[in-house]
């Protein structure tokens, strides 16, 4: 990234900061259901004037003049008089209100009690009480992923704060806008190994986009404003604010008009793409015979522009795990997912292509496999909002560091103006790929009367018309949900991609249901992942969230079992999750967990009964758990082994075969 400008205002001692990181931009887009999102209250004015030489080859070095300030919203009415002193905790809560926050996921403790007391005085913010801090931050992620708005979670100091670590790392890797607030021991006790003290700023430095330790109550308005701006701008990510208890208790009169101090960061934000680069991309498209789009989570906010680009060019689209839904899966130009468990035809297209259009992606190892063999015949165009991702794993021939939405708008404008003179015709290439689709469709074997897990997801897709919001845990069920549910819109698909955090599915569904009242939200989960945050069933019941849980229960840690079958001669190394002394019984009995929380539940074991069971789950008002017993021998296919290339793809076999 371009270096910070010479007049950068250094952070005051009141904010300890981590290095800025960033990749895939994620923000709000239209869903096929009512999202009922909160209306963001404007709490800062941001004036940006950009001087950009269109002929310059380096768009990132262009100068920009930025004058940001925090300012009270004209339509925000405080419950306090302007000069009335109030506690730091009340200032913090009002700062959240001014950012447009309507929902938080907060679990109280000794060092955050003051914040919770202040929340009870708010008439705007609703707290959805998780039953574990990890459940809280995963719910905040589900909220952000499904709405595009920043998720907010709050925890106490010490173990409460450290329980947020997996969620922060997950949001960092998947570029999710998140603001996490933690209580901290009083300032005088910091560094004394006080009860429930952890240096959470230091612990989370490398897994947050930025973090703060508040040492002055007067800094709270500015810090909260900066945190939301950082979390949602550029490449989104998590920001942590650590607030000592004595700061929360201190009385002060807030100043809502403080300027935000981010001149170095602002100078490094990407500028609009240069026209010369966009013309170059169009020229490469016109010269290409076998182009393919490789789109990721960075396109979630650019779905309409992407669809227009495909309409203008006729180029087929392969999606990453994070990019599912950016282009409709049922479309004839969709190749669905590429990568380790992607379709044969998506990986074939990338392997044979002469032009790879990589938009909003980071060339992750689960996509590329062996880097030297990935798209080895192709010229590569890489557009990403984070300059650190360009050339990190794979060197592009043309790169544009910009918001994908702006770049696609520019490219589409050029394509529309040139129109018929380009004479784009990829019909022979599309026919070649259609032959691959017919030759290697996604399929699965049957196991007598047993239920194939892929079939369960297919039936769910049919019965919901592909319009449900789907969350998942991590493992085989996650890959099958990616392959066999046909996503039609962005933000329908909520999964832990980069980190692969088991236990993500249920709390993420909680966040999605809070952000999207009235939507059908289904947690497709595995028994291993589900039990990791099973306590969130209590939150589901108490909040009466209409979440449906489709539990694909094979009594094993399925993905690890698959690797054991393939690469370790089926030697079971602690991957059986049932009761070894009674393998004929389903253990644990998931229906009892649901019963304990007053949630209706049923179990289905035979394929012939599955459709009616799923229909009943969808028709039952409120939450419902359906325990679907599936065979543990099934494997996720296709599969390109880790570090392999397209030529190494596996399309046959399961746990009944010896390797």
Shortest CA distance to 404 belongs to which of 505, 322, 332?
322
Q: SS3 for 68? A: strand
Higher pLDDT, 70 or 500: 500
Confidence bin at 10 (pLDDT 50/70/90) = very low
Instruction: Flag whether pLDDT at 51 surpasses 80.
Output: no
Instruction: Flag whether pLDDT at 606 surpasses 80.
Output: yes
Peptide bond before residue 209 is cis, with ω within 30 degrees of 0: no
245 flagged as catalytic: yes
Pick the catalytic residue: 102, 245, 290, 409? 245
Query: Does some domain include residue 200?
Result: yes
Final residue of a structural domain among 439, 472, 500: 439
Final residue of a structural domain among 387, 412, 439: 439
DSSP string, 493-539: EE---SS--TT-HHHHHHHHHHHSTTS-EEEEEEHHHHHHTGGGHHH
Question: How far is it, in rounded angstroms, from Cα 216 to Cα 63?
Answer: 33
Tell me: do 302 and 388 sit in the same domain.
yes
Confidence bin at 143 (pLDDT 50/70/90) = very high
617 flagged as catalytic: no
pLDDT at 20 (0 to 100): 38
Instruction: Flag whether pLDDT at 568 surpasses 80.
Output: yes
pLDDT at 367 (0 to 100): 97
DSSP string, 358-392: EES----HHHHSSGGGTTTTSEEEEEES-GGGTTT
Query: Does some domain include residue 198?
Result: yes
Reported as a single tens digit per residue, the pLDDT across 103-118 is: 999 999 999 999 999 9
255 flagged as catalytic: no
Reported as a single tens digit per residue, the pLDDT across 324-372 is: 999 999 999 999 999 999 999 999 999 999 999 999 999 999 999 999 9
Query: Does some domain include residue 163?
Result: yes
Tell me: do 466 and 397 sit in the same domain.
no
| DSSP class of 184 | E
Rg (CA), the chain: 25
Pick the catalytic residue: 195, 395, 435, 449? 195
Confidence bin at 22 (pLDDT 50/70/90) = very low
Region of poorest pLDDT, from 19-23, 141-145, 448-452, 623-627? 19-23
pLDDT at 211 (0 to 100): 97
Tell me: do 261 and 317 sit in the same domain.
no
Final residue of a structural domain among 267, 285, 310: 267
Tell me: do 261 and 280 sit in the same domain.
no
Reported as a single tens digit per residue, the pLDDT across 91-101 is: 999 999 999 99
Pick the catalytic residue: 1, 76, 117, 196? 196
Reported as a single tens digit per residue, the pLDDT across 291-331 is: 999 999 999 999 999 999 999 999 999 999 999 999 999 99
Looking at the structure of the chain, the number of domains it has is: 3
Tell me: do 487 and 530 sit in the same domain.
yes
Question: How far is it, in rounded angstroms, from Cα 483 to Cα 337?
Answer: 7
pLDDT at 655 (0 to 100): 87
Question: How far is it, in rounded angstroms, from Cα 601 to Cα 603?
Answer: 7
pLDDT at 2 (0 to 100): 37
Tell me: do 234 and 334 sit in the same domain.
no
Query: Does some domain include residue 75?
Result: no
Instruction: Flag whether pLDDT at 34 surpasses 80.
Output: no
Q: Average pLDDT for residues 51-56, to the nearest whole number?
A: 32
pLDDT at 372 (0 to 100): 96
DSSP string, 523-586: EEEEHHHHHHTGGGHHHHHHTT--EEEEEEE-SB-HHHHHHHHHHSTT--SS-B-S-TT-TTS-
Tell me: do 631 and 485 sit in the same domain.
yes
559 flagged as catalytic: yes
Query: Does some domain include residue 38?
Result: no
Reported as a single tens digit per residue, the pLDDT across 437-478 is: 999 999 998 888 999 999 999 999 999 999 999 999 999 999
Question: How far is it, in rounded angstroms, from Cα 486 to Cα 481?
Answer: 9
Tell me: do 223 and 295 sit in the same domain.
no
Higher pLDDT, 440 or 10: 440
Instruction: Flag whether pLDDT at 7 surpasses 80.
Output: no
User: What residue numbers bound the domain in which 366 lies?
Assistant: 275-439
> What count of other Cβ atoms lies within 10 Å of the Cβ of residue 162?
17
Tell me: do 629 and 579 sit in the same domain.
yes
Query: Does some domain include residue 582?
Result: yes
Reported as a single tens digit per residue, the pLDDT across 378-418 is: 999 999 999 999 999 999 999 999 999 999 999 999 999 99
Tell me: do 110 and 238 sit in the same domain.
yes
Tell me: do 240 and 351 sit in the same domain.
no
pLDDT at 170 (0 to 100): 98
CATH number at residue 619: 3.40.50.970
Instruction: Flag whether pLDDT at 225 surpasses 90.
Output: yes
pLDDT at 74 (0 to 100): 54
Tell me: do 385 and 512 sit in the same domain.
no
Instruction: Flag whether pLDDT at 85 surpasses 50.
Output: yes
Query: Does some domain include residue 26?
Result: no
Instruction: Flag whether pLDDT at 24 surpasses 70.
Output: no
pLDDT at 446 (0 to 100): 84
CATH number at residue 326: 3.40.50.1220
Q: Average pLDDT for residues 21-38, to the nearest whole number?
A: 36
447 flagged as catalytic: no
Pick the catalytic residue: 479, 502, 559, 590? 559
Query: Does some domain include residue 645?
Result: no
Q: Calculate the average pLDDT of the chain.
A: 90
Pick the catalytic residue: 133, 226, 536, 564? 133
């Amino acid at each position: 990234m371009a270096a910070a400008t010479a007049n950068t205002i250094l952070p005051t001692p009141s904010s300890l900061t981590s290095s800025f990181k960033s990749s895939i931009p994620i923000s709000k887009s239209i869903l096929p259901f009512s999202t009922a999102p909160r209306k963001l209250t404007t709490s800062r004015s941001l004036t940006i004037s950009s001087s950009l030489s269109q002929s310059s080859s380096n768009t990132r070095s262009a100068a920009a003049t930025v004058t940001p300030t925090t300012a009270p919203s004209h339509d925000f009415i405080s419950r306090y008089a302007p000069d009335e002193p109030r506690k730091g905790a009340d200032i913090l809560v009002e700062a959240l209100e001014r950012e447009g926050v309507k929902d938080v996921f907060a679990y109280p403790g000794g060092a955050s009690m003051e914040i919770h007391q202040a929340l009870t005085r708010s008439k705007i913010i609703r707290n959805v009480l998780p039953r574990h801090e990890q459940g809280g931050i995963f719910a905040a992620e589900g909220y952000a992923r499904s709405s595009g708005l920043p998720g907010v979670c709050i925890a106490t100091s010490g173990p409460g704060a450290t329980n947020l670590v997996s969620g922060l790392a997950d949001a960092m890797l998947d570029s999710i806008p998140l603001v996490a607030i933690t209580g901290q021991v009083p300032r005088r006790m910091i560094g004394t190994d006080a009860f429930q003290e952890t240096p959470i700023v230091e612990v989370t430095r490398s897994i947050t986009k930025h973090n703060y330790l508040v040492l002055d109550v007067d800094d709270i308005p500015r810090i909260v404003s900066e945190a939301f701006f950082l979390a949602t701008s550029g490449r989104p990510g998590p920001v942590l604010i650590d607030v000592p208890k004595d700061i929360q208790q201190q009385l002060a009169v807030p100043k809502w008009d403080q300027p935000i101090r981010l001149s170095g960061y602002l100078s490094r934000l990407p500028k609009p793409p240069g026209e010369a680069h966009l013309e170059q991309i169009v020229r490469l498209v016109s010269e290409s015979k076998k182009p393919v789009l490789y789109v990721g989570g960075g396109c979630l906010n650019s779905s309409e522009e992407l669809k227009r680009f495909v309409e203008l060019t006729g180029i087929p689209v392969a999606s990453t795990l994070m990019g599912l839904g950016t282009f409709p899966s049922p479309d004839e130009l969709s190749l669905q997912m590429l990568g380790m468990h992607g379709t044969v035809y998506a990986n074939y297209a990338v392997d044979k292509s002469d032009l790879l259009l990589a938009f909003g992606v980071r060339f992750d190892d689960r996509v590329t496999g062996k880097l030297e063999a990935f798209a080895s015949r192709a010229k590569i165009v890489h557009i990403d909002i984070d300059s650190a991702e360009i050339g990190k794993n794979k060197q592009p021939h043309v790169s544009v560091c910009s918001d994908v939405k702006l770049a696609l708008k520019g490219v589409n404008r050029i394509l529309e103006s040139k129109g018929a003179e380009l004479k784009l015709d990829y019909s022979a290439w599309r026919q070649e790929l259609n032959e691959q689709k017919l030759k290697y469709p996604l399929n699965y074997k049957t196991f007598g009367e047993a239920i194939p897990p892929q079939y369960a997801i297919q039936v769910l897709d049919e019965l919901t018309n592909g319009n449900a919001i789907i969350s998942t845990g991590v493992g085989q069920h996650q890959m099958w949900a990616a392959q066999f549910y046909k996503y039609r819109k962005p933000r329908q698909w909520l999964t832990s991609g980069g980190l692969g955090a088991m236990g993500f599915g249920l709390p993420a569904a909680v966040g999605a249901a809070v952000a999207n009242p009235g939507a059908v939200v289904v947690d497709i989960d595995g028994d291993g992942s589900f039990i990791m945050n099973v306590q969130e069933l209590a939150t589901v019941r108490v909040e009466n969230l209409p979440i449906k849980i489709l539990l694909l229960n094979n009594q094993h840690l399925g993905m690890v079992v698959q690797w054991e079958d393939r690469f370790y001669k089926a030697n079971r190394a602690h991957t059986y999750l049932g009761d070894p002394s009674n393998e004929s019984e389903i253990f644990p009995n998931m229906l009892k967990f649901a019963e304990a929380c007053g949630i209706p539940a049923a179990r289905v074991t035979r394929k012939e009964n599955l459709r009616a069971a799923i229909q009943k789950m969808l028709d039952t008002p409120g939450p419902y758990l359906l325990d679907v017993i599936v065979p543990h021998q099934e494997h996720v296919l296709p599969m390109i082994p880790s570090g392999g290339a397209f030529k190494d793809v596996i399309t046959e076999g399961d746990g009944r075969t010896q390797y």
